[in-house]
Amino acid sequence: MNYFWDLFLGGLTRGSIYALIALGYTMVYGILQLINFAHGEIYMIGAFTALIVASMLTMQGLTGLSVLILATIVAVLYAAAYGFTVEKIAYKPLRQASRLSPLISAIGMSIFLQNYVMLAQTSDFLPFPNLLPQLNFLDSISSVIAPSDFIIIATSTAVMIALTVLLKFTKMGKAMRATAQDQTMAMLTGVNVNRVISRTFIIGSALAAVGGILIASHVGRINFYIGFNAGIKAFTAAVLGGIGSVPGAVLGGLVLGLAESFGTGYISSDYESVFAFALLILILIFKPDGILGRSSQ
């Protein structure tokens, strides 16, 4: 039972990070019908920026919570700025082009950003400091749940609730939902579609940066290539839940995380990703639009 609980928590932790990144995919897809392959790279850049800022601050003598907060703010801002710029360069000129052109451009952007970070920084793994705070009250529950797991799950839940509120109750969220439903109609009712698209990229990228910091602190090392794997997993999660659907992305992320965790725990640890992908194929065979996806018919 204890083993089961450990695996369950591990899956939940992993899944909530997948969900954070998957949200960026699903929001962009909902509006542009574009698989934003560069999203994983934004997540990687977020983690790198956090590492750089955190190391600079630590060398200035700062410690503890202030490092975490400053590094997170800077990383989120930078990731958002990168997301914004990527959209302006690689996708905006291609709005009218056929479906495949933005996809290729996205793959190009992903390769570009990976190599940009590799050339400007390093191709080796860098140790990532554990930025997660050591909270005293968590020690009392550490027999049930590891503190870092708790922080990751709590943070991502909070971020996701904030996103839901933003989408449901603000004017901006309404504009975003309207654009996702019908771009032309939204434009007719006075929604500035270009601005909505920019904001979608900014929000998605900011979420990815949060995910990046959490997972980098958890794993303890990063390199320029981490975005690729995380990106593919998160995209899988988004599709699993039904791409374009925000609750679907969260559900997909959690299901994927749990499947990987139980798969590695009970069957074999070599085939971690195989479980994720096999589950994806199985679910799509029976539900071609994902778990919560809108039917195409």
Partner 1 sequence: MKYACELKRSIYIALWFILLTFPIMVVKVNTIENVIVWRWINIAGIGVGAFVLSFFWQLYLRKKMTSQQTAPEKVSILNRLIENQKIYRLALFIAGIFALIFPFVFSHYQVNIMTTALIYVMLGLGLNIEVGLAGLLDLGYVAFYAVGAYSYALLNYHFGLGFWTLLPVSALLAAFFGILVGFPVLRLRGDYLAIVTLAFAEILRLVLENWNDFSFGPSGISNIPRPGFFGMNLTLEQSAIYMYFLLIALCGLTIFVTYRLQHSRIGRAWVALREDELACQATGIDKTKAKLTAFALGAMWAGIAGVLFAAKTTFINPASFTFMESAMILSIVVLGGMGSIPGIILAALAIILLPEYLRVFSDYRMILFGAALIIMMIFRPGGLMADRRKQYEFHRSDIINKS
The residues of the shown chain that bind partner 1, judged by CB under 8 A, are: 29, 33, 35, 45, 48-49, 51-53, 55-56, 59, 74, 78, 81-82, 85, 89-90, 93-94, 97-105, 107-117, 119-122, 126-127, 129, 228, 232, 235-236, 239, 243, 270-271, 273-274, 277-278, 280-281, 284-285, 288-290, 296
Tally of CB atoms within 10 A around 218: 18
Rounded Cα distance between 135 and 148, Å, is: 10
**Least distance in angstroms from the C-beta of 31 to partner 1:** 14
User: Closest separation between CB of residue 120 and partner 1, Å?
Assistant: 5
Q: Which is nearer to partner 1, 145 or 232 (CB)?
A: 232
Q: How many CA atoms lie within 13 A of 57 on its CB side?
A: 20
Cβ nearer to partner 1, comparing 121 with 148: 121
The distance of closest approach from Cβ of residue 51 to partner 1 in the complex, given in angstroms and rounded to an integer, is: 7
Burial of 281 (0-12, 13-18, 19+ CB in 10 A): exposed
Closer residue to partner 1 in complex, CB, 1/281: 281
**Phi and psi dihedrals of 62, rounded to 5?**
-80, 155
CA distance 83 to 198: 8
List CB contacts of 213: < 8 A, sequence separation 6 or more. 46, 47, 50, 71, 72, 75, 131
CB 156, min distance to partner 1, A? 23
Q: How far is the CB of 7 from partner 1 (least distance, A)?
A: 20
Q: What gap in Å lies between CA 46 and CA 205, rounded to an integer?
A: 8
Residue found under tokens 């109609």: 185
What is the identity of the amino acid at 137?
A: F
**Smaller CB distance to partner 1: residue 104 or 141?**
104
State which residue, 91 or 150, has the beta carbon closest to partner 1.
Answer: 91
Rounded to an integer, what distance in angstroms lies between the CA atom of residue 69 and that of residue 67?
Answer: 6
Q: How far is the CB of 114 from partner 1 (least distance, A)?
A: 8
Tell me how far apart the alpha carbons of residues 252 and 16 are, in angstroms, rounded to a whole number: 10
C-beta of 57 vs 146, nearer to partner 1? 57
Query: CB of residue 185 vs partner 1: minimum separation in angstroms?
Result: 22
Q: Tell me the pairing of strands 221-222 and 126-127.
A: antiparallel
Comparison of 77 and 193: residue with beta carbon closer to partner 1: 77
Q: Are 207 and 22 in contact (CB under 8 A)?
A: no
Complex with partner 1: residue 135 or 220, whichever CB lies closer: 220
The minimum distance between CB 205 and partner 1, in angstroms, equals 12
Tokens representing 165?
């509120």
